[in-house]
Amino acid sequence: MSAHRSPAVARLRRARWMMTAMVAVITLTSVLVLGFVASGIDARARATAADRQVEAVAGGLARAIQHDDKRALDLSTVIDDQLAKGSTGVVVMVHKAGEPWKQAHTYQRSLMPDDNQLSTFATQTDDHSDGVLYASDLYSATDITGRPVRIAGTPVYWQDWDNVVVILAGSEAMANPGAHRNLVWELIIGGGLLVVLSTTAAFFLSGRSLRHAVRMLDEHEQFLGDAAHELRTPLTTLKLLTESRPKPEEVQQTLAEARRLADRMARLVTGLLARARMQSGIAEPERTMLRLDQLAEAVADEAADPRITVTVHPSVVVGDPQLLSLAIRNMLENGLTHGAVNRAAPVEVHVAEGRVSIRDHGPGVDPVMSASPFNRGAAGRSGRNGIGLALVAWVAEAHGGNASIEPAAGGGTIATLWLPPADITAGASAPARG
């Protein structure tokens, strides 16, 4: 089953959507809270400014109003005052004991409440002042069009006149409400864009994390699949050996075969683990200056197959001895396996100038595999290929080199592993041995 359709990936994708949704909810909540706070602060500031404006108008006009010698209210100073010519509504209420309130002067009447409400505010202002001159009161109301307004009332008294005058000044409950509405829309649009951008960023960032996790799952699945495929045959053979009940004279041969299978499985697991660790970035290949010719000879000696012949020239490279041994061993096992059609034919190992070439005398390169012989799982004449050659190509790439398989003149194949030579090289060639 592909890792892309595995339950683990499905859980990762659900986690991605959940994380994106959580980011969206958190961002939306933060934007709403900040929006309400900012809007509330602006609204309170504008309401305070409106209160100060009506108080300034009412108080200023109250100090300007006066009466003449004939006990008549002189409104000329009020009418000509700049405070009574602005955007604030003004009503001058006059009251004589035993009589109802009268409106002596009005300006911007549409900003003020109805007549009954004005009389009520004038009465309250007079009652609350307790005879204190210019003591202002603030009231909330709605004007005659239904808009909320703030009203300031300031009383005026005279010792030589029993009339009471109350200056009522009114304006919208919020100074410059259009600017406040613009601020609210800006907060809504800006907050919405912020939520969209943060959610989109969270979605794409979680997608990048998901791709990395899926790649890790793919590598995990590949590791398990490779291990299962490569270990199946030696494990089955080992099981058959242990169940065969060999004769006394065959015990040593059986034990030797079991050891060979165990060594092969250990090498496979070592190679798979090394590749998995390095592909995931947990480990890096060791960089050691070594003699490639001596390493190839040691691997050939371990194989202990009489068909192997080795010709080496001193060659110094920089690399990981364990990984290079694994690659050479896999190439050698591939040559021994495919050269087995002719038991008398040698498997020739040649080392020179950072290059290890192994030639067999088998049936040659299968045309089906010739385009991609190093691909994991490539299929040829003998069925599905294992990961041995794929590991060879990976080791070569990890060392900055390359690997190739090509037909040999006269039949068979030549598998080659090439590594960049080190700066220091050795001299004369060593003699061939069989």
Q: What is the pLDDT of residues 279-304, one digit of tens each?
A: 666 667 788 899 999 999 998 988 88
Please check the confidence at residue 376 and state whether its pLDDT lies above 60. Answer: no
Segment 305-310 mean pLDDT? 89
Percent of the chain's residues with pLDDT above 90: 32
What residue type is assigned to position 192 of the chain?
G
Please check the confidence at residue 132 and state whether its pLDDT lies above 80. Answer: no
pTM attached to this predicted model: 0.53
Query: Residue 184 — pLDDT band, cuts 50, 70, 90?
Result: very high
Query: Residue 417 — pLDDT band, cuts 50, 70, 90?
Result: very high
Separation of first and last alpha carbons in the chain:
47
Q: What is the pLDDT of residues 8-24, one digit of tens each?
A: 778 888 888 898 999 99
Query: Residue 425 — pLDDT band, cuts 50, 70, 90?
Result: very low
- What pLDDT, on the 0 to 100 scale, is given for residue 384? 42
- What pLDDT, on the 0 to 100 scale, is given for residue 366? 64
Query: Residue 117 — pLDDT band, cuts 50, 70, 90?
Result: very high
What are the strands, taking DSSP E only, across 178-233?
Answer: none
CB 124 within 8 A of CB 138: no
Query: Residue 364 — pLDDT band, cuts 50, 70, 90?
Result: confident
Please check the confidence at residue 119 and state whether its pLDDT lies above 90. Answer: yes
What residue type is assigned to position 415 of the chain?
A
CA 356, chain centre distance (Å): 45
* Nearest-angstrom CA–CA distance, 152 and 169: 5
Q: What is the pLDDT of residues 160-171, one digit of tens each?
A: 777 889 999 999
Please check the confidence at residue 387 and state whether its pLDDT lies above 70. Answer: no
Segment 203-213 mean pLDDT? 82
* Nearest-angstrom CA–CA distance, 35 and 430: 83
Percent of the chain's residues with pLDDT above 70: 84
- What pLDDT, on the 0 to 100 scale, is given for residue 434? 39
Candidates 321, 317, 322, 325; CA nearest to 401 is 317
Q: Bigger pLDDT: 33 or 425?
A: 33
- What pLDDT, on the 0 to 100 scale, is given for residue 389? 81
Segment 252-264 mean pLDDT? 78
Segment 336-341 mean pLDDT? 74
Q: In what order do the strands lie in the sheet with 355-360?
A: 308-312, 347-352, 355-360, 413-418, 402-407
Neighbours of 423 (CB within 10 A): 7
Q: Bigger pLDDT: 190 or 210?
A: 190
- What pLDDT, on the 0 to 100 scale, is given for residue 247? 75
Q: What is the pLDDT of residues 39-63, one digit of tens each?
A: 999 999 999 999 999 999 998 888 8
Segment 355-365 mean pLDDT? 86
Q: Bigger pLDDT: 141 or 251?
A: 141
Helix (H) or strand (E) holding 166: strand 161-172
Fold of the CATH domain 13-179: Beta-Lactamase (3.30.450)
- What pLDDT, on the 0 to 100 scale, is given for residue 133? 77
Please check the confidence at residue 367 and state whether its pLDDT lies above 70. Answer: no
Phi, psi of 343, deg, nearest 5: -65, -20
Q: Bigger pLDDT: 324 or 231?
A: 324
Cα dihedral 108→114→115→121 (10° resolution): -90
CB 164 within 8 A of CB 127: no
CB 385 within 8 A of CB 401: no
CB 64 within 8 A of CB 81: yes
Cα dihedral 315→320→321→325 (10° resolution): -90
Please check the confidence at residue 369 and state whether its pLDDT lies above 60. Answer: no
Mean pLDDT, the chain, integer: 82
Judged by phi (left if over 0) then psi (alpha if -120 to 50, else beta), residue 353 lies in left
Please check the confidence at residue 79 and state whether its pLDDT lies above 80. Answer: yes
Q: Bigger pLDDT: 156 or 278?
A: 156
Cβ-based neighbours of 43, under 8 Å, separated by 6 or more = 174, 180
Could you name the CATH architecture of 285-418?
A: 2-Layer Sandwich (3.30)
CA distance readout (Å), 395 to 77, 291, 333 = 101, 17, 16
- What pLDDT, on the 0 to 100 scale, is given for residue 270? 75
Segment 62-79 mean pLDDT? 78
- What pLDDT, on the 0 to 100 scale, is given for residue 83? 84
Q: Bigger pLDDT: 335 or 133?
A: 335
* Nearest-angstrom CA–CA distance, 43 and 50: 10
Which residues are bridge partners to 210 per DSSP? none
Domain coordinates in residue numbering, the chain = 13-179, 285-418
Name the H helices within 81-141: 115-129
Instruction: Tell the burial category of 138 from Cβ atoms under 10 Å away from its Cβ (0-12, 13-18, 19+).
Output: middle
Candidates 392, 356, 354; CA nearest to 373 is 392
Cα torsion 223, 226, 230, 233: sign: positive
Please check the confidence at residue 383 and state whether its pLDDT lies above 50. Answer: no
